[in-house]
Amino acid sequence: MTDKSEEKRKMTREEAGRKGGQKVARERGSEFFREIGRKGGQKVAEERGTEFYREIGKKGGESRGNGRLSEKVGQRERRKARTRA
């Protein structure tokens, strides 16, 4: 017999975000995401100007920040790989 706490574990933020995004996609469709992306881009252009887009376009795939996020992602992927092995 399994313990109740094992059956009903808490959902991680990552899982909750994924499930929420999938639900929105099912209910509203991909056009919704295109529209909010377009609106967000317009707002950024109004607030920061076209020079901002030139700068981020030049950077392309360059890394930014101190790399903590990429370290966390790498750690998580290594953990997943160990559990699969």
Q: Give the chain's mean pLDDT.
A: 81
Question: Is the residue at 42 inside a domain?
Answer: yes
Read off the pTM: 0.47
The pLDDT value given to residue 59: 84
Q: Is residue 85 part of a domain?
A: no
Domain count, the chain: 1
| Residue-number span of the structural domain to which 51 is assigned | 12-60
What is the rounded distance in angstroms from the CA atom of residue 25 to the CA atom of residue 28? 5
* 30 in a structural domain: yes
Report yes or no on 16 lying in a domain.
yes
- 5 within some domain: no
User: What DSSP state is assigned to residue 12?
Assistant: P
Phi then psi for 52, rounded to 5 degrees?
-60, -45
% of residues, the chain, pLDDT over 90: 42
* Cα(22)–Cα(70) distance, integer angstroms: 24
Is 25 inside any structural domain?
yes
Question: Within a domain: residue 69?
Answer: no
